[in-house]
């Protein structure tokens, strides 16, 4: 996506005029909080409610929070005397669409203008930031993916969607609207930064990166995980964005700030990570730096498993998690041109990585020693070996930021040499 999530430890200001278009979805309630978050940062906020949005939030509530008149009707006589929809489209610094429903995205992509919201979006020459929210199957539907690609090509910025539970009982996946703080921070980035990715060796390319661990629940308080901090994956995402790429970072649970200029999808489990990666495709490059848990509990407990004196130790039955690297590397026409995996090993580092590259059908494997003596997990330095079909190149010990820059540089050079387009 062209939008970003930024560190929640930083509160950027939005000291400009924002027009918030609220679409008709249950996530509309989050948009009321978004009004407050934007005003906290100094923004003047005006609101357009679609007809469907008024089934979830009222003009009175939006007006009370924004301290501005709320607009709902394209054919409002008083407004249209002053060419109201044109004035709304131009008399702002940024338009935010939140929630951006599947229907609203489809109308935007096809240039419809049959209500106030779509007329404003068609008439504007200002940057637009969309925060999608919909059922996971709607988000992954080919029509929606096609509409999003068209909107990205048109210059629309995106934030989210995130992974999580839906409003519908038993529904979960990629489709939750980004939180109000995330949208406010993305708005600050769009307003304060360049409106497009910087020029660089990966300009015009899409890079998908995984980072961090996954957490596989045992019960509501316990889980199976790896020790990954996410530092290397996040560093690669930052380096790819700095090289001009459009970056989608699929991150497991980490305590790191989101890299600037990067669209971040936050997940918990391996299954969620695979779903998010598949949704993010197609891409030119896919880099799998996450330390995905190899196994999950077949049936996690709904309540905390209690330790009772004299009782037997509980037995956990494990199932193998999906292999994200292999599923993407072997997937046919939507396979990225360059697929790079990571191999975290404690012994026989290079031989294991060479075997992994062949078995998983990866183009490159970045192998690193994660034995206790290496201090790689959680540390700031890394010693890696780049394993390709041509051979093995061992890099000297260096910071994870330097590893990231070097890897991105070589990936960009590979793409340029092969003249690959998606």
Domain limit, last residue, from 147, 174, 196: 196
pLDDT tens figures, 96-153 = 999 999 999 999 999 998 889 999 999 898 999 999 999 888 988 889 988 988 888 8
Judgement on whether residues 264 and 412 belong to the same structural domain of the protein: yes
Domain total for the chain?
Answer: 2
Task: With a cut of 50, say whether residue 332 has pLDDT above it.
Answer: yes
pLDDT tens figures, 257-281 = 788 778 888 889 999 999 989 888 8
For 102, the domain range is 1-196
With cut-offs at 50, 70 and 90, classify the pLDDT of residue 195. very low
Domain limit, last residue, from 144, 168, 196: 196
Judgement on whether residues 230 and 365 belong to the same structural domain of the protein: yes
Judgement on whether residues 208 and 170 belong to the same structural domain of the protein: no
pLDDT tens figures, 3-53 = 444 333 333 455 589 999 999 988 999 999 999 889 888 889 999 999 999
Residue that wins the pLDDT comparison between 36 and 162: 36
**CATH number of the domain to which 366 belongs:** 3.40.50.10300
Judgement on whether residues 175 and 47 belong to the same structural domain of the protein: yes
Domain limit, last residue, from 145, 172, 196: 196
Judgement on whether residues 135 and 261 belong to the same structural domain of the protein: no
- Give the residue numbers annotated as catalytic, written as ranges: 226
Judgement on whether residues 392 and 258 belong to the same structural domain of the protein: yes
What's the confidence (pLDDT) of residue 311?
80
What's the whole-number average pLDDT of the chain? 85
Judgement on whether residues 182 and 202 belong to the same structural domain of the protein: no
Whole-prediction pTM:
0.61
**CATH number of the domain to which 74 belongs:** 3.40.50.1950
Judgement on whether residues 111 and 158 belong to the same structural domain of the protein: yes
Judgement on whether residues 243 and 342 belong to the same structural domain of the protein: yes
Judgement on whether residues 116 and 237 belong to the same structural domain of the protein: no
Residue that wins the pLDDT comparison between 335 and 171: 335
Judgement on whether residues 245 and 182 belong to the same structural domain of the protein: no
Closest CA to 324 of 367, 299, 360, 369: 360
Judgement on whether residues 122 and 25 belong to the same structural domain of the protein: yes
């Amino acid at each position: 996506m062209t939008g970003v999530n930024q560190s929640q430890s930083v509160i950027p200001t939005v000291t400009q005029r924002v027009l918030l278009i609220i679409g008709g979805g249950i996530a509309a309630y989050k948009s009321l909080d978004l009004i407050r978050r934007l005003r906290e940062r100094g923004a003047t906020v005006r609101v357009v409610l679609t007809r469907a949005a008024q089934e979830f939030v009222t003009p009175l509530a939006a007006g009370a929070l924004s301290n501005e008149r709320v607009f709902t009707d394209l054919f409002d006589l008083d407004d249209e005397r002053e060419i109201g929809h044109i004035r709304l489209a131009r008399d702002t610094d940024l338009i935010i669409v939140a929630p951006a429903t599947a229907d609203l995205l489809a109308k935007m992509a096809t240039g419809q203008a049959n209500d106030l919201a779509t007329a404003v979006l068609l008439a504007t020459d200002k940057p637009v930031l969309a925060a999608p929210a919909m059922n996971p199957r709607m988000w992954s539907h080919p029509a929606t993916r096609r509409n999003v690609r068209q909107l990205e090509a048109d210059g629309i910025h995106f934030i989210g969607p995130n992974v999580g539970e839906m409003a519908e009982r038993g529904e979960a996946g990629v489709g939750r609207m980004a939180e109000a703080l995330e949208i406010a921070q993305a708005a600050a980035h769009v307003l304060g930064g360049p409106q497009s990715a910087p020029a660089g060796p990966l300009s015009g390319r899409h890079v998908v990166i995984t980072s961090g661990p996954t957490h596989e629940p045992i019960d509501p308080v316990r889980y199976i995980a790896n020790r990954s901090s996410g530092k290397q994956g996040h560093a690669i995402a930052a380096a790819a964005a700095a090289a001009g790429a459009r970056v989608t970072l699929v991150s497991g649970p980490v305590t790191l700030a989101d890299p600037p200029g990067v669209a971040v999808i936050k997940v918990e489990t391996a299954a969620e990570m695979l779903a998010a990666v598949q949704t993010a495709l197609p891409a030119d490059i896919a880099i799998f730096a996450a330390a995905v848990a190899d196994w999950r509990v077949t049936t996690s407990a709904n309540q905390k498993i209690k330790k009772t004196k004299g009782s037997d130790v509980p037995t956990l039955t494990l199932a193998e998690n999906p292999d994200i690297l292999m599923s993407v590397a072997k997937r046919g026409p939507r396979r990225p041109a360059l697929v790079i995996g990571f191999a975290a090993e404690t012994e026989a580092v290079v031989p294991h990585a060479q075997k992994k590259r062949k078995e998983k059908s990866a183009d490159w494997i970045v192998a690193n020693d994660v034995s206790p003596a290496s201090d790689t997990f959680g540390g700031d330095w890394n010693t890696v070996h780049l394993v390709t079909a041509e051979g093995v190149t061992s890099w000297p010990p260096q910071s994870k930021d330097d590893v990231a820059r070097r890897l991105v540089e070589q990936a960009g050079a590979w793409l340029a040499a092969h003249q690959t387009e998606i």
